[in-house]
Chains A and B, each alone.
Chain A
Amino acid sequence: GIQVEQSPPDLILQEGANSTLRCNFSDSVNNLQWFHQNPWGQLINLFYIPSGTKQNGRLSATTVATERYSLLYISSSQTTDSGVYFCAVNLVSNFGNEKLTFGTGTRLTIIP
């Protein structure tokens, strides 16, 4: 099956720093989503980004589908950015349905 790898697994930064999170995937995919999981478990949609670049405030993402990777950029980090960031890809299953395959996540800790 498809493999989704995220790096780094853990990242500790000072407040105000910038960071880049990477997601590599092993096969062609239709689409890709980035999520932030807060300490209570809620998955918050950050980007739906099958290709190209998108920006939302201090966050931006770029997916290069032909090279099978995506990057999430966080600028001017705040303590509220702490949590686990997941990349997930859509792969059409044999039944023609969507199934998200998740990476193992990057745990980001922002220190005041």
Chain B
Amino acid sequence: DVKVTQSSRYLVKRTGEKVFLECVQDMDHENMFWYRQDPGLGLRLIYFSYDVKMKEKGDIPEGYSVSREKKERFSLILESASTNQTSMYLCASSFEQGDQPQHFGDGTRLSIL
């Protein structure tokens, strides 16, 4: 069974802090994704990566960056956290080709005070 693991289930940080959210997958997937999930807005793609050291902006990349140094790990970075980044963050991964579905982690509920 595919396992996508997010390092923290709940996280509380202060405005202005640099925040790291980590995601690891164990299925050798090429693609990895970061979404934020907000009530009434659904899931919105922040960044995705289709290979090591490769990244592409999603729909809402402002205020975020990502890092993919190893195939199994994809990190989301909030350079200077702000209160409007309080949200549920979901990581997902998938194989590169065909119609392969995305597999999601449990999510990290991040609160910025």
A binds B: no
| Chain A interface residues (CB < 8 Å from chain B) | none
| Chain B interface residues (CB < 8 Å from chain A) | none
